[in-house]
A and B are shown apart, each in its own frame.
Chain A
Amino acid sequence: MQQTAKRRPRWVKGNLVFLAASVVLLALLVFAVAGDALAPIDPARQSLRSRLLPPGAESRLGIHWLGTDSVGRDVLSQIIAGARPAIAVSAAAVALAVLVGVGLGMIAGYRSKRMADALLYVTNIQLAFPFFLLAVTVVGILRPSIPLVIFVIALGCWVPFARIAYSETLVVVEQEYIEAVHVMRGSVPRILFRHVLPNILPNIVVLATFMLGSAIVMESGLSFVGLGVPTATPTWGRMLSEGRDYMQTAWWLTVFPGAAIFLLVLSINVLGEHLRDRISPKKSSN
């Protein structure tokens, strides 16, 4: 602890990118939590008299810092309101993927060769399917809802978790202290949760961070094709898709939500890299 505390100031100084990423991430998290209170104008409020106003224009509702969309909704307020679905849905999906992936991976790594084969077989099948095709088929047939979108994104994320958990568990169970637990007749759950999990957790956390970035892109992609979570105000992906028709006449409809997605994913990835460097230094030197 002391060592890290001493190292930190120097480290931060040398890493403005990390600082910037943290600020962006923090801001977007605040938007996600308290978006309703922070949005300057009701994001669902439409006004056809003030549609397609450029950034900075003023209407009777106030100043539209990032302009208005094709039915006169404030773009800045929509971006703030869109942080919640983007972050919450993706985080829930990654959590589900971790739960399922790590659970199956550990069991397969600990149990028998046959379980492991079955798991690898399933993950191979899953990897052979393009994620988007799978997602569009599933969500397209059923009606999009928040649980379904979370499920589908989790479906697109769980494989790497299962694979990492499996291979790390294989290494851990060979260790002598696990043998010792066996000798002392420790139960299987005890071995998995008390001894295996803490050992593989750092890598899982790093992976989860990176997967969160991918999950946000997936969520935006689904929203873009009209299969995202149904919300009263558009999500970022839907804003992009709705702004597509106005690319030539109203650039702000696509540039700002696009930038929001870009910044969020970039910040998460910067954070992920930082975590990776700190948690498992071995990996970064490779």
Chain B
Amino acid sequence: MKPLQSSTRSTLKRFALGALSAMALSFASGPAWSAEPVTARVALSGGLDRLDPSQTANGTDLVIVTQIYETLLEIDYATKELKPKLAQSYRAVSPTLWEIKLRKGVKFHDGSEMTAEDVKFSIERILDPKLSSPHFSQLSSIKDVRVVDPYTVEIETKVPDPVLMRRMQPLGGSGRLFIMSKKYYEGKDNAELANTPMGTGPYKLESWEKGQRLVLTRFEDYWGNKPEIDKGIYTFIPENATRVNALVQGEVDIIQRVPITDVERLEKSDKVHVIASPNGLVHTLLLDSSKPPFNDIDVRKAFAHALDVEDMVEGLLGKYGRVYGVPMSENVVQFDASIKPYAYDPELSKRLLKDKAPIKLETFTSDGRYVNDRDFYNVINRQLEEVGFKVTPQTLEWGRLINMMQNRSAGPFYIIGWDFGEGDASKINSFLHSSSALSITQDAEFDRLAALAGQEIDPAKRTKIFHDIQKYVHDQYFIAAIWQAAALYGFSKKFTWEANSGDTLLLHEVKVSK
């Protein structure tokens, strides 16, 4: 008994050792991520509201939505041109008719295949007045959507709409036509659907505890390249200092919106690094020219020349900020670099205001929504006081403030940041065209020019019209200051990312550091 026992034991021992070393070998030889799932913990700066792409325009919602759902086209980061995504190809049959061929074999997370019916459904859902989608106006030129065969769709527009295809890509927020499953969505309650997103994207929703955390897991039947990250755990930390500390202490791997003053501290650490995406938000200091006091161009002019924007951006954003003379990002095709920002000239402002009664400005400001927004408001208000404006600011919580902005009741001036990810100048309609809810400019001449640009098919002529528009906006002082801030992300050294998509961090683009 004894010898047998011992030999059994030694055999067992040998076997166990062999198994162990085999396992160790397989770990060593295979890539690290095949051994155990790679999890990225991400801290967002704001909470989530509704995860239905046709019902939301909230920035943090869109970060999640853009990973669960996909669009027909996307932007090639290198060439800035459109390229197919869920579409195989697209072409203009006539100025008012587009034909889109769909990619075959694309599966929704529930296993069903994406077809032309789903595309038709997704467009018509946004156009349904009952849903009152925030993207409605972007697609309102569409007259009819026809299913030709399961993989071909025809879109007919009321008038020529040269930028329609730009609205079929996911970045920039002007359009964002995400493809949703007709079978899954039809006939269901909209409020409920906002909690249970389901699309074709590289990640699917695993769980969502509202206000606490959200978990995305990789969709194994995804048609495209397999992402390196298996699982994304999202938490919400609005407080800047807390969010940065969470990264430094290793509680999370990725954070949005690193405050500029913390960049240096993070760069010194050997566990984390900062990634800057130059195409961050373009901040516009909008003036309400539809009512007094800013319906008077002299007052707008006095306002604009009272501000030392160069100094402000240099001081508050350093190398992560750029001042522009026109309200769009450099990456926009029609960007006119020849128009310079308004010069700092407080004496001119004082002269312009000399014969006028003192102007009181009761304003509302945000704190924490944009990079250093509170400091910007502090400096702006002070410089306005110096030329004779009387400013009484009140800080409001962002949710309430954006609501007031949409009712055009958020005061005489305020800052809004815009994502120009789509790379087209037509985006400026969102804050200058009289029909947009967020526009406090009501100007017939601007609307006329915008309509001209909207219907021009020829790219060169269209660019020319947009140059005229930029000149007009500059001469009219509708926007007092324009600057762009880089989108700053804090990353654990475990991960790395090519920051191309500006304000939208896409997990499937994140790589595991080698």
Partners in one complex: yes
Bitwise, A43-74 to B at CB < 8 A (1) or not (0) is 01010110110000000000000000011100
Q: Cα distance A52–B393 when bound, in Å?
A: 23
Minimum CB–CB distance for A279 against chain B, Å: 42
Chain A 225-253 interface mask (CB, 8 Å, partner B; 1/0): 01000101000000000101111111000
A71 partner residues in chain B, CB cutoff 8 A: 316, 375, 378-379, 382
* Cβ–Cβ contact B394 & A144, under 8 A: yes
Contacts of B241 in A (CB 8 A): 244-248
Report the contact-size class of chain A (Cβ under 8 Å from the partner): 20 to 34
Interface centre among A49, A249, A250 (most CB of B within 10 A): A249
Q: Closest chain B residue to A72 by CB distance?
A: B315
The CB with the most chain B CB atoms within 10 A, among A144, A226, A242, is that of A226
Interface residues, chain B, with chain A CB atoms under 8 Å away: 239-241, 244-245, 259, 261-262, 265, 311-312, 314-316, 362, 367, 372, 374-375, 378-379, 382, 385, 392-396
| B308 and chain A: residue at smallest CB distance | A48
Question: With a CB–CB cut-off of 8 A, which chain A residues contact B240?
Answer: 245
Given A44-B382, A46-B382, A71-B375, do A245 and B259 touch, yes or no (CB 8 Å)?
A: yes
Of the residues A49, A72, A230, contact of B393 by C-beta under 8 Å:
A230
Across-interface contacts of B394 in A (CB, < 8 A): 143-144, 226, 230
> A13 vs B378: C-alpha distance in the bound complex, in angstroms?
48
Query: Which residues of the other chain, A, contact B385 by a CB distance below 8 angstroms?
Result: 232
Residues A226 and B367 in contact, CB atoms below 8 Å apart: yes
24 contacts between A and B (CB under 8 A): A46-B378, A48-B312, A48-B315, A49-B315, A51-B315, A51-B316, A71-B375, A71-B378, A71-B379, A71-B382, A72-B315, A143-B394, A144-B394, A226-B395, A230-B394, A232-B385, A242-B374, A244-B241, A245-B259, A246-B241, A246-B261, A248-B241, A248-B244, A249-B261
A127-163 interface code vs B (CB 8 A; 1 in, 0 out): 0000000000000000110000000000000000000
A46 CA to B377 CA, complexed, in Å: 12
Query: If the complex has contacts A226-B394, A230-B393, are A248 and B379 also in contact, measured as CB distance less than 8 A?
Result: no
CA distance A142 to B209 in the complex (A): 34
Query: Which residue from chain A places its CB closest to the CB of B396 in the assembled complex?
Result: A226
A44 to B385, CA, bound (A): 11
Interface string of A197-214 (1 = CB under 8 A from B): 000000000000000000
Q: Which residue of B lies closest to A234 (CB)?
A: B378
Complex A-B, nearest 10 residue pairs according to Cβ-Cβ distance, in ascending order:
A48-B315, A226-B395, A245-B240, A71-B378, A247-B241, A249-B261, A70-B375, A71-B375, A46-B382, A230-B392
* Smallest CB gap from B362: residue in A: A143
Residue of B nearest to A246 (CB): B261
Q: Are A48 and B262 in contact (CB under 8 A)?
A: no
Q: Is the CB of A248 within 8 A of B375?
A: no
Contacting pair A248 B316 (CB below 8 A): no
Among A48, A52, A72, contact of B261 (Cβ-Cβ < 8 Å): A52
Interfacial chain A residues near B261, Cβ < 8 Å: 52, 70, 245-246, 249-250
In the assembled complex, which residues on chain A have CB atoms less than 8 Å from the CB atom of B239?
244
Q: Is B395 within 8 A of A48, CB to CB?
A: no
Contact residues in B for A242 (Cβ distance below 8 Å)? 374
Q: Which of chain A's residues have a CB closer than 8 A to the CB of B259?
A: 245
- What's the least CB distance linking B410 to chain A, in Å? 13
A48 touching B382 by the CB < 8 A rule? no
Q: Which residues of B contact A51 (CB under 8 A)?
A: 315-316
- Which chain A residue shows the least CB distance to B392? A230
B311, B372, B375 — most chain A CB neighbours (10 Å): B375
Residues on B with beta carbons closer than 8 Å to the beta carbon of A48: 311-312, 314-316, 379
**Bound CA span A248–B244, Å:** 10
In addition to A226-B395, A248-B265, 18 A-B residue pairs with Cβ atoms within 8 Å of each other are A46-B378, A48-B312, A48-B314, A49-B315, A71-B375, A71-B378, A72-B315, A226-B367, A230-B392, A230-B393, A232-B385, A245-B259, A247-B241, A248-B241, A248-B244, A248-B245, A249-B262, A250-B261
A202 CB to closest chain B CB, in angstroms?
41
Judging by beta carbons under 8 Å apart, are A248 and B262 in contact? yes
**Chain B positions within 8 Å of A232 at CB level:** 385
- With CB as the reference atom, state the residue of chain A lying closest to B400: A140
Q: For A226, what are the chain B residues with a Cβ–Cβ distance below 8 Å?
A: 367, 394-396
Measured CA separation A20–B314 after assembly (Å): 45
* Chain A contacts for B362, CB-based, 8 A: 143
- Nearest Cβ in chain A — how far from B230, in angstroms? 32
